[in-house]
Amino acid sequence: MKHFINLDDLSNSDLSQIIDNGIALKKAHKSGQINKSLQNKTLAMIFDKSSTRTRVSFEAGMTQLGGHALFLSDRDIQIGRGESVVDTAIVIGSMVDAIMMRVSKHSDIVTFSQNANVPIINALSDESHPCQLLADMMTFKEHRGSIKGKTVAYIGDGNNMCHTYMQAANAFGFHLNIATPTDYRPQQIFIDKYQHCTSLSADAHLACSGADLVVTDVWASMGQEQEQGKRELAFANFQVNQMLMNNANADAVFMHCLPAHRGEEVSAGVIDGTQSLVWDEAQNRIHAQKSLLLYLLEK
Ligand code: CP
Ligand code: NVA
């Protein structure tokens, strides 16, 4: 049985196959084909943080494949009242076919994978957001072809998205230029593990030089709202604006996992401009994750 807790849970060739099948599933869906491959299958979706894209894409994705998705907020299930993670994992795992989790503690996702007898999908943790990278890689492929050998610039906070881009650089064979304020670098364990495919600096202009894709994310992630003011000061030189994009390659594209804050990590001109792929990127969550669900559940 396979889990999808980090990108490196799967082989590079399996990841590429999931992306390609995501593109095929999208075409099939748009042409009106019906796919009931996951009929009678249930996906449990556990959330202790907000979500627009992740919830809607997994829920609608299960519907498109003939299955069912169950939204479980920590406000409604007993885990929010103190039932243990292990007990919850055993019980939910005995009733459904797969579990998707968006939780504050990455270690809770790992605990689930050790105790629930079904595939576990990380739908964002404090450490990583692998589902988003499936959609991002699919989107780049649709618009620009293979990302192998390309240069990607990640500008901003060394957070869960940054970590997952580091893992993606290794898995998909691109070079990642990371620019963060010195106090907001990615975790050292990621810097050490992915130094062969990443460069780290505090210079956003330098990082964008020669980039085929420029990516950013919010300055204050979920759970860091009280640091908003402090972070706005620290990240003031890390806004992706047209000046920064002009430093990248002429045909460079822009991506952002969303939700975005125009005027903070990205200017309105860039996110709403011609280089931006954010709406395709968001829409592709559904097709990339349908492909992931088929991969995990049909094995
Ligand atoms: N990008 C993303 O995961 O969005 P949501 O927080 O809306 O799910
Ligand atoms: N880094 C952001 C990503 C949101 C999809 C967060 O964790 O809030």
Residue nearest to atom 2 of ligand 2 (CA): 221
Does residue 151 carry a pLDDT above 80?
yes
Where does ligand 2 bind, in terms of residues with CB under 6 Å? 124, 159-161, 217-218, 221-222, 257
Specify which residues 18 forms β-bridges with.
Answer: none
Ligand 1 atom index nearest CA of 222:
6
DSSP state of 179: E
Q: Give 106-110's long-range contacts (Cβ < 8 A, gap of 24+).
A: 109/5, 110/5
- Please give the pLDDT value at position 80: 87
Ligand 2 atom index nearest CA of 132:
5
Residue span(s) of the chain under CATH 3.40.50.1370 come to 7-129+284-297, 132-281
Specify which residues 208 forms β-bridges with.
Answer: none
CATH number belonging to domain 132-281: 3.40.50.1370
pLDDT in tens, 24-45: 999 999 999 999 999 999 999 9
Instruction: Assess whether 289 carries a catalytic annotation.
Output: no
Phi, psi dihedral angles at 47 (to 5 degrees): -125, 130
CA 161 centroid distance within chain:
6
Does residue 248 carry a pLDDT above 90?
yes
Does residue 292 carry a pLDDT above 70?
yes
- Please give the pLDDT value at position 129: 98
pLDDT in tens, 255-266: 999 999 999 999
- Ligand 2 centroid–CA 198 distance in Å is 21
| SS3 assignment, position 189 | helix
- Please give the pLDDT value at position 11: 97
- Ligand 2 centroid–CA 51 distance in Å is 9
Instruction: Assess whether 217 carries a catalytic annotation.
Output: yes
Residue 155's H or E segment, with its range, is strand 151-155
Q: Does domain 7-129+284-297 have CATH number 3.40.50.720?
A: no
Instruction: Assess whether 163 carries a catalytic annotation.
Output: no
- Please give the pLDDT value at position 299: 61
| SS3 assignment, position 178 | strand
Calculate mean pLDDT across residues 97-116: 97
DSSP secondary structure letters along 60-87: HHHHHTT-EEEEEETTTSGGGGT--HHH
Mutate to test the pocket of ligand 2, among 161, 163, 255 (most ligand atoms within 8 A of CB): 161
Calculate mean pLDDT across residues 207-230: 98
- Please give the pLDDT value at position 228: 98
Instruction: Assess whether 262 carries a catalytic annotation.
Output: no
> CB count, 10 Å around CB of 55?
18
Instruction: Assess whether 53 carries a catalytic annotation.
Output: no
pLDDT in tens, 44-99: 999 999 999 999 999 999 999 999 999 999 999 999 899 999 999 999 999 999 99
Helices (H), 145-198: 160-172, 188-193
Instruction: Assess whether 224 carries a catalytic annotation.
Output: no
Calculate mean pLDDT across residues 162-187: 98
- Please give the pLDDT value at position 23: 98
- Please give the pLDDT value at position 90: 98
Q: Which of 3, 106, 129, 256 is catalytic?
A: 129
Kindly state if the Cβ of 198 falls inside 6 Å of ligand 1: no
* 270's tokens: 């860039």
Residue nearest to atom 3 of ligand 1 (CA): 54
CB 197 within 8 A of CB 174: yes
